[in-house]
Amino acid sequence: MSDTTPIQHFIRTIIDGDLASGKHRTITTRFPPEPNGYLHIGHAKSICLNFGLAQDYQGACNLRFDDTNPEKESEEYALAIQDDVHWLGFQWSGPVHWASDYFQSLYDYAEELIKLGKAFVCDLTPEAMREYRGTLTEKGRNSPYRDRSVDENLDLFRRMKAGEFPDGSKTLRARIDMASPNINLRDPVIYRIKRAHHIRTGDAWCIYPMYDYTHCISDALEKISHSLCTLEFEDHRPLYDWVLDQLPVPSHPQQIEFSRLELHYTVTSKRKLLQLVTQGHVAGWDDPRMPTLHGMRRRGYTPEGIREFARRIGISKSENIVDMAVLEGAIREDLETKAPRAMAVVNPLKVVLSNYQDGVTGSRLAGFHPQHPEFGEREVSISREIWIEQDDFSEDPPPGWRRLKPGGEARLRYSYVVKCDEAVKDADGKVVELRCSIDHDTLGQNPVGRKVKGVIHWLSASHALAAEIRLYDCLFTDPEPDGHKDRDFLEFFNPNSLMVVQGWVEPALKDAAPEAHYQFERIGYFCADRFDHRPGERLVFNRTVTLKDTWNKGHG
């Protein structure tokens, strides 16, 4: 892998200054996902940032679930998120935190705002509230309920909590400034009535706090030093600070924004990822084509490769649209050093070795990795019939062709030089079999008097094991499927994003464990499927990445 030295960025500069000045003795960060879907590659950037900074500065990082929207949240998502954080190589400080841990405190602080004259109960409908809010160029108007007395607001808010009013009939709003140029400060809603069963508190509450109100107080109660979030929250920072400035909270964290990650040829909107799942375009949240961490894990991406990717793309406030080649390059480099080599044939063409002789034609031992002798070796067996890739034979080859052709020679990897004597065709003129002859003097040595430059991979037909091989490509044909205002992103769905073929692999892979990685020589890096692969019974391998970068060659 590449150098793993942390790359300096503006957030590190802020932290360095805070520690040097004594503002903070140590740092505490947090990763605050909502349990309403599986995490994706954009979240990986945030995980690596928050947990990575805590590691580098010997601080702490909390995992806190933002569970303030009960209708969309589930235990399944919460468990999957914890699994992803662990898989990426991180551990949160202390127990898992939840916004719901603070529901009583949040309610008490809301009453405090009412007593300070800083919050009021509003009866405006959502439509009327939008109308009163104004626009980017027009100031908002005060709600007709804005000047209710403290006692009336307290009474109404307590009755909201007691369940006296229908869903949506009243809200609690912060009393800030309807003329503010920042729309987020125009008396934002901080509580709404919603009778929804909560995954942790059940039916104990029928009012729920809004994210902007919840998040800053949760940060303060946990004494977060640096609250890192993506740029869309930059305009929310004045509200974050306003809430904390009004209340007797134990700390006032600093919110710092950085640009979110956008990856070419995919989407990272949770709503759109959910749409792909629910409409059956993919096989689930962990489909290996999905940009979710569960999907990437199943495809064979490594946590080390993803962490290196996050390091390479860096942290800044400028737009962070990244080419798929950067991600695949990091994965490929990691697998290059750790994946054993093996041979597999995904598009088989039968070859009969006409002069094969039992007891004379020999096998050879081959190492699993050229740089890692400690990986061991295996026997590469040979028999009269072998499989090669159809692409390794051409009747009418282009100039410079180094593989098999009529009358031409090529070396079988770890084995003999063979010559193609005849191509057998079916009734439609398709080549279905080759007849080749072995040069028996070339096992482990070069032929005398001639050069054979081409080397092809192959498998003994009598030793090879059948395997299901899943060839994955990008999920969309457009680099920015989400970037067309007048077109649905599904118009760019790639119908060839998955091809399933029945191929053959070496017998050495019979007992490959689920999630084991291999380089299939000359084809790519593959991973035994996490769920469908059963050692010794059913072999299923997913293509993780190709051997070379194909993205700079007009991919898609």
Active site residues: 34, 260, 270
**Smallest Cα–Cα separation from 24: which of 12, 32, 16?**
16
CB proximity list for 76: less than 8 A, separation 6 or greater: none
Contact call for residues 445 and 452 (beta carbons, < 8 A): no
Assess contact for 222 and 214: CB atoms under 8 A: no
Range list of H helices, 349-469: none
Q: Round to whole Å and give the CA distance between 413 and 370.
A: 14
- Of the candidates 475, 503, 507, 505, which has an alpha carbon nearest to the alpha carbon of residue 491? 475
> What is residue 185's DSSP assignment?
G
DSSP tally for the chain: helices H, then strands E: 12, 27
- Spell 285-319 as b/e; 16+ CB within 10 A means b: bbbbbbbbbbbbbbbbbbbbbbbbbbbebebeeee
Buried b (16+ CB within 10 A) or exposed e, 61-77: bbbbbbbbbbeebeeeb
What's the longest Cα–Cα distance across the chain? 103
Q: What are phi and psi of 165, to 5 degrees?
A: -115, 150
- What does the alpha-carbon distance between residue 243 and residue 224 come to, in Å, rounded to a whole number? 15
Chain centroid to Cα 429, Å, comes to 45
Q: How far is CA 338 from CA 327, 369, 376, 534, in A?
A: 17, 8, 13, 22
In this structure, what token pair is assigned to residue 277? 């799942």
Residue 345 has φ and ψ, to the nearest 5°, of: -125, 120
Q: Are strands 348-353 and 431-439 parallel, antiparallel or unpaired?
A: parallel
Integer Cα distance of 4 and 11 in angstroms: 18
d(CA 321, CA 326): 11
Contact by Cβ (8 Å): 404, 431: no
Distance CA 320, CA 258 (A): 10
CA 313 to chain centroid: 15
Q: Give me the DSSP letters along 310-376.
A: HHHH---SS-EEE-HHHHHHHHHHHHHHHPPEE-EESSEEEEEETT--TTTS--EEEES-TT-GGG-
